[in-house]
Structure 1
Amino acid sequence: MDPDVAMWLGSTLLTIGALAVGVTVHLIGLGRVAPTFALGLPGRRLRTDAATFALTHRAATPLTWLAAAIAAVAAVGALAAGLGTGIGEWAVLAVLSAIVLVIGLTLATWRAHTALGDDALLDDSTNGPLRPGAD
């Protein structure tokens, strides 16, 4: 495979993948995706019911978007640098972009798990979790 094609393909997949993760966590946080093993941040406790699934992902959404945006911009930057210098430099920058995404998603998962104990997720009138979309 031509190195230029490999760089374009790799950067495109990394950019689309990073943004897809951000959109998916955001939609889960809005309550538009039911709890499932295949989608969402890892953790059995996050999937106990639909409200917990949505609320914990809503808490993790800002960190997820931050990580996804930085990783996507870094992937595009890796492509720009790689086209000018070569595939070796592109590979280093693409790996750094992927590492940023992994670290950001690790922090977002930590935030989702810590949200399980947040008082902000409880409604004062019923002491139960707020429904997604109720602000």
Structure 2
Amino acid sequence: MEPLALMLIVSGLLALGSLALGVVVHLIGLGRIAPSAVLGLPGNGLRADASTYRATHRAATPLTWLATSVAAVAAIGALIAGLQEGLAEWAVLAVLSAIVLVVGLTLATWRAHTAR
């Protein structure tokens, strides 16, 4: 696979995946998604019952939106930088996007656990 195609795929998946995570946590917080072992923030205590599942995800929603939106913007920046400048600039922004996503979701999960 050509490096440009790989950059496009990875940047697109990072951007769309980031936004999808934000939407899912938000919908769980609104009660539109039932408790599930597959969807939502990690932790068995967050899935004790439907109201706990909803309340903990609602508490984590602001941090989740912050992290996922910044990660998505960095991923889109990586895509643009990759198309214009090259592989090194793309890699810096793609790694930044992934780090922001991991750290932000870790903080959001911590917030959800403290809201129990």
TM over 0.5: yes
**2:64, 2:114 → 1: CA distance?**
15
Gaps of 5+ in 2: none
Answer 1 or 2: which has greater helix percent.
2
Q: For each residue in 1:85-133, what CA deviation from the matched residue of structure 2 results, as whole angstroms up to 9, or x when unmatched?
A: 21232122201101100000000001101111xxxxxxxxxxxxxxxxx
**Structure 2 equivalent of residue 75 of structure 1:** 75
- Which SS does the other structure have where 2:115 is aligned? helix
1:82 shift after superposition: 1.5
Please tell me whether residue 7 in structure 1 is matched to residue 7 in structure 2. Answer: yes
**Structure 1 equivalent of residue 45 of structure 2:** 45
**Structure 2 equivalent of residue 120 of structure 1:** none
**Structure 2 equivalent of residue 128 of structure 1:** none
What is the Cα-based RMSD across aligned positions, in Å? 0.9
- Which SS does the other structure have where 1:42 is aligned? coil
Task: From the CA coordinates, give the structure whose radius of gyration is larger.
Answer: 1
**Structure 2 equivalent of residue 61 of structure 1:** 61
Q: For each residue in 1:6-53, what CA deviation from the matched residue of structure 2 results, as whole angstroms up to 9, or x when unmatched?
A: 111111100000000000000100011111111100111100000000
**Structure 2 equivalent of residue 29 of structure 1:** 29
Aligned residues: 116
| Alignment-mate amino acid for residue 59 of structure 1 | A
**1:40, 1:86 → 2: CA distance?**
35
Instruction: Give TM-score scaled by structure 2 length.
Output: 0.96
Runs of 4+ in 1 over 3 A off after TM superposition: none
